[in-house]
Amino acid sequence: MYKLFNRVFKWDIDAYICFRKKPYSIVNFELPTKLLNDGWVVRQVDFSCQNDKSKLANLFLEAYTDFQTMEKVNLEIESAIRRKDLCFVLANSVRFAGMAWLGFENNEMLKTVGNFVEEKENVIVEYRVYVSPELRGFGIQRVINNQLQLVAKKLAVKWVYGFVGVKNTPSVNNFMKTYKYYKLVYHVTLEIPFVKMHCFPKLALENWTKINR
């Protein structure tokens, strides 16, 4: 009976911090001189360029082991392109070593971990943030985030959101330096055949906290 119950009813719980800011709240960061001298730049991925897509796919395999195969990675990238998502990367002439994506109202993040968000229109989300281990500690994530914010400002969206697991201390620290408000969120996923629900216990007890810098 227990095994049957587990097959029919599945659940999961996680805790993360939801960040948000208005796109005009831009904090300017630049790559350190050492990285610039080594040929690194932050730029937007050109999805019409096969070389860019190949480099991005290799970075995906490095960052997310759950994809496992290049076929799965390419399907994910093509799906993001169809959604018209944008991607900014840390790049040199050889490879990509960092990335962050910008998703819009149809992004899966806003339908799952961000399902509690009151504003469903005219918002965007920063997701899939990653920097290769050997280049961490240079503030790269903040520089990439700055480029995303410039796009958000140009699009005149109302809010930019980001979601970070509570145990991901480096990313939490970086988001604290680039966003304006945060809220602790407990997220419970309940799944039965044909139905998947997202619940947010204690959410009413949490308020948006302003980040003072």
Structure tokens at 85: 């998502």
Q: How buried is 175 (Cβ within 10 angstroms: 0-12 exposed, 13-18 middle, 19+ buried)?
A: buried
Query: Which amino acid would we find at residue 111?
Result: K
Per-residue pLDDT of the chain (213 residues; tens, 9 = 90+): 445 445 556 778 889 999 999 887 666 778 999 999 999 999 999 999 999 999 999 999 999 887 778 888 999 999 999 999 999 999 999 999 999 999 998 888 888 888 888 887 889 999 999 999 999 989 898 899 888 888 888 888 999 999 999 999 988 998 998 899 999 999 888 887 777 788 888 888 889 999 987
The amino acid that residue 200 corresponds to is F
Q: What angle, rounded to 10 degrees, do the helices at 140-155 and 169-178 form?
A: 40
Mean pLDDT of the chain: 88
- Phi and psi of 91, rounded to 5°? -135, 145
CA dist 6 to 111, 196, 198, Å? 25, 15, 18
Q: What is the pLDDT of residue 27?
A: 65
Burial class of residue 63 in the structure, from the number of CB atoms within 10 Å of its CB (0-12 exposed, 13-18 middle, 19+ buried): middle
Break the chain into its structural domains and give their ranges.
7-210
Q: How do beta strands 159-165 and 10-21 pair? A: antiparallel
CA–CA dist 153, 159 (Å, integer): 10
| CA–CA dist 74, 56 (Å, integer) | 9
Superfamily of domain 7-210 in CATH is Gcn5-related N-acetyltransferase (GNAT) (3.40.630.30)
Coil, strand or helix at 179: coil
- Going by the DSSP 8-state scheme, the letter that residue 131 receives in this structure is E
- Please state the pTM of the whole predicted model: 0.85
